Structure 1
């Protein structure tokens, strides 16, 4: 495809002149002209960097324009130049020119006041045009004090301007001059002076495809919408009701309930951009071009709908069609599982030549028992520049770690059931074949934006630039900048999603990330808390796709600042203890036991122990330290950081689609019939002694939303059979687990009876849980967030997050409020409405939960929540409410246990029974 190639360097116009001559006005006119010609424009200013430092070294707030201009100029230029290298700010704007050139066609700099502010950019870049702006009447009106100021006179004798624009008339006159100037500029023949290496990188990429991170997400969503996919919002990073995961670490993780068959999605075609955290390679963050703890995973998914042919065809279309990414097909390579002939033939059909299809024996996705299958990866060839040993395709064939071939997409064809003790070639095919794909957003941006690393993309680089501003160090690819930028992204999102700092599990992961960022800040010479200052930059960069971050910005900053201050104190205490250990050593050795004690007791990073020891000529027994660490990890491991809990799909369960209706909101007893019987995972017509029964109608509630299953009996053939447990099947039916003597058959008539006494106690506790959450939000804070609950016939348990301490007085007031609401005798109102209507009504929803087109809204006194559980009809039925206990389950996570009605007396009786004896 023959297309025009844009220069690597955008057109840069530096506007210079005395105060109030119209430089900013001209910059705005150029912006307007660019918009009219479909060109992207941005204006930069030296003063944007100067003001930040003016605030630090003076009492000027940067906004008071009533002060004399000379003072503003003095604070904005001279005072700073006395304390900081004059070239620092020029280097900063040059760095921005280099970055923004990849995204904008025209850059203006509207406030050059010094020779160096013109000369340095012109020396560094080819396409820099200097423009002198002159306004005769304004110049004659300037005071002598202003004329004497260096910023007003340094360019008086400058004779290297490329153009002059004289502003000596009306705004219309000035705009006419600017338009004439820009017409000549835009009409010039564009000479392609770029180096061959860069040209080869973008030869087949149109300028409109050099997407920002926001544009890339939107294009991804638009593409899959055109293929009838539902766009699934990113789930929070903290997994809900999944003990197998510390973090959501893949696009498929929040969708496990669909892949294992426990739930059926509204649309079997889905796509998402899922925020993820992985910390298994934390030590490589900053060292390589691709490793990060926080990243976004683009994914498309099919649950028993389309399969290999469509997945491969559509991935190729998105990557190569000129309507979408328009990648050069010659740069794309694919890998397939060595025995996957079907995938090979499909890739050949879409046009991939045989020599660019690589068969690999490891291209098979499998994590323990459960759904598994071959996968096919797509790689982008970034060119020989990233292949110093000139190994070429051998890098892919031998799976050699490299920066030339970047994996941009992985299609997983989930089609088999992996079983322990069974050879892969003997795996049975799944009844419902699924597609699970992943494309790293940051990785694809490196290609779209023509940069070397994910840290140079527009999703991360602004954070690095902010680090540079705060530290006063210029960024040239150094590791500390990358570590800090990555870790603050992870911290900002994780804390906004409800995680906290602590000593265990995911809480400790955050603590480790922050401490690692602080440690690398020290390498940049920062000795006071500063990581928290980066949060607003993260929020600003991600504001379009994640606007909720703004609501949490202050809370996140406060938490990070508090943790930073704590760690700085820890560092002081730890260094003091380390000095004592080294002074007591007779052989310049620090034992692993001492190093671990510093780490475990004082929170002193082992890496810092190693650094300080090396500086002082000491050795550290790392092997002994690792043994202590390994022992601790084995004892404290709370979860595995992998997607490993996919259940075996049950073919009979998936294919069983007879409708079963829950009638338990309205009645506790119903005459019905058996429509399904299961002996283990096999559907049968006759069941003997034990198994699972599915009824046409049932009043039994199956455990969900924290509420336990109902108890009761089924009367079949005049025999009472106790219902042991309940669960909800793949297609929504209620399964009753029973044990009995004899046989029962599909079609048998049944009387299903729920235990009314137990159900009533559950209802009281569940409704009281709603009142408890409302009272907590009233007494403590509206930021109280539910983190889990369990409601049975004995007690209620409510887990919640709250950033603060809870006093006895707080609990007394919470309990009083709940009992006060019980006394109002308010009817409980149940309404069915759309989710949007419910949210507008003020209903509290768990945003990680799946909701259908219509939701059930419960109004209990002044509490409004989305809930599918069973409840009292009037709050007076709860009778009484008492808090039994409160405990902390980690930093900022609390658990309250409480009881209602007769259970309060029962609890009290059990408590005093030993004394009565």
Structure 2
């Protein structure tokens, strides 16, 4: 990092608990995470003291100290001593929790205990259980601060070693802090967020506070349109995979809740203007991209509108049949038909079923999806996929790529694959893969197509029609033996089709020039989703 002490405000999207959105006071898919970090500088004592000062001092947030409760990891006596002796928190107000709650780790690498600070919102928000206290899942005690003490290294075998350089990683949700400071019921009642909900209410005609179901729908729409606006502003576009699918899922969930409120035409794009207005000072780039963001949302709404009505009608009929049979699980085949025929995503099917106390057979759905992928893979004749499960029996040394300096080079045949099996020879007429120790052939990557050419040895000629690079860095020359035969261990002459390489280079460079020209002409929102030239 540029400094050993760093402070940040990060825009975050989290969908792991999406089913809770709108139903609780503290769950949201979009939030701004405030953080202060130490990389080998200050540590536990300073981090705890400064967090307490920031939260309680009238100069900063000014929260009543009697309403705050720290928690620590079960065995972190050092943190207990700091809270108890240095800060002056009575022992009975310090809560010890186990690994699930107060130990931060993600697989191997740096990890450590953490210390959270909870705010008591009062009896009004309690679940009413006699044992309701800090750590309860209800809305009374809300976490506002988390100090992570990265002091160990997870070795991956159940053991931990001390880090030579210890670090601090702090997280504080801005929306949760605003809930506390403004004294409102939920993050949806924070002034800037409520202004978005008011806009949704204006468009839908639904009144916030009229019923639980209405409130949930208004909150879901508000939350999801906030996330979508920021995601698109950061260059994410709706798609069927990765971040793009997260965006598409959020927009479609929001559209479905619009349907529940009686809105039967695209409307989300009209709300994003309010989202941008409420965040324009902190994020002026949203204002610059406003027309683009609006257009992307409108296009996605129009697309989904063509499928949602048919899908919801079919699903409603299936649910009626299930009720008549006293069944609660929708067969995987039906869920797959909704997806494959009507473009109705599984997660939306699950949402609708869950509202009725039902569920979908996700395993059955997954099995049918796998079958479809296999059929598509077979139809493509994707040899590299077929090869993927074969153990070449080679070490991890990657193929030496020489293609930046020469288009012709000698290479040793390390392995060959024919008919999806390792082979000692390739004979005339056979197709397969040849793996060399060194090659001038460029493998398909970075949006640039692979080289074509030939491998030769005497009268043996192997025509290369594709080159792929596996995870170990081995170059897989796919093609067909035109004449003669190749044997394992032979030295061959590898020759790239020079005119084709030059044409590919021109076309690939042209895509970058075109992208630059589009950005210059249309603006920074232009995003290249991919290329293969």
TM-score (norm: length of structure 2): 0.67
The answer for unaligned runs of 5 or more in structure 2 is: 374-445, 447-503
Aligned to 2:294: 557
- Structure number with bigger Rg: 1
SS at match of 2:184: coil
**Partner Cα distance (1:354, 1:634) in 2:** 59
- 1:322 to 2:58 alignment: yes
The answer for unaligned runs of 5 or more in structure 1 is: 1-264, 637-705, 707-764, 787-799, 803-892, 898-917
Aligned to 2:31: 295
Match of 2:139 among 400, 403, 406: 403
Contact 1:776 1:784 in 2 (8 A): no
**Partner Cα distance (2:335, 2:314) in 1:** 10
How far is the alpha carbon of 1:629 from its aligned partner?
3.9
Match of 2:169 among 414, 419, 436: 436
- 1:447 to 2:187 alignment: no
Match of 1:352 among 86, 89, 107: 89
Contact 2:333 2:364 in 1 (8 A): no
**Partner Cα distance (2:120, 2:352) in 1:** 42
Match of 2:250 among 499, 510, 513: 513
- 1:595 to 2:309 alignment: no
Contact 1:484 1:521 in 2 (8 A): yes
**Partner Cα distance (2:74, 2:39) in 1:** 25
Aligned to 2:4: 268
1:607/1:414 CA distance change after superposition, 3 Å = closer
**Partner Cα distance (1:433, 1:630) in 2:** 46
Aligned to 1:524: 261
Aligned to 2:126: 387
Tell me the matched-pair count: 398
Contact 1:593 1:625 in 2 (8 A): no
Mapping of 1:729-748 within 5 angstroms?
none
Aligned to 2:482: none
How far is the alpha carbon of 1:595 from its aligned partner?
2.2
How far is the alpha carbon of 1:343 from its aligned partner?
1.1
- 1:627 to 2:353 alignment: no
**Partner Cα distance (1:325, 1:447) in 2:** 10
Mapping of 1:108-507 within 5 angstroms?
265-348=1-84, 349-362=86-99, 363-389=102-128, 391=130, 395-396=133-134, 399-423=135-159, 427-476=160-209, 478-507=215-244
Contact 1:801 1:894 in 2 (8 A): no
Give the CA RMSD over aligned residues. 3.6
How far is the alpha carbon of 1:308 from its aligned partner?
0.5
**Partner Cα distance (1:448, 1:466) in 2:** 24
Contact 1:784 1:801 in 2 (8 A): no
**Partner Cα distance (2:357, 2:93) in 1:** 50
Match of 2:531 among 878, 895, 900: 895
For residues 587-630 of structure 1, the C-alpha deviation after alignment (integer angstroms, 9 at most, x for no partner) is 76763311222024422255776798899xx997x353453248
TM-score (norm: length of structure 1): 0.40
1:383/1:577 CA distance change after superposition, 3 Å = closer
How far is the alpha carbon of 1:801 from its aligned partner?
2.2
1:586/1:450 CA distance change after superposition, 3 Å = closer
For residues 460-480 of structure 1, the C-alpha deviation after alignment (integer angstroms, 9 at most, x for no partner) is 100100011111221116100
How far is the alpha carbon of 1:770 from its aligned partner?
7.8
How far is the alpha carbon of 1:323 from its aligned partner?
0.6
**Partner Cα distance (1:505, 1:775) in 2:** 25
1:558/1:633 CA distance change after superposition, 3 Å = farther
Contact 2:197 2:218 in 1 (8 A): yes
How far is the alpha carbon of 1:361 from its aligned partner?
2.3
Match of 1:801 among 522, 527, 530: 527
Match of 1:533 among 270, 273, 279: 270
SS at match of 2:138: coil
**Partner Cα distance (1:614, 1:319) in 2:** 39
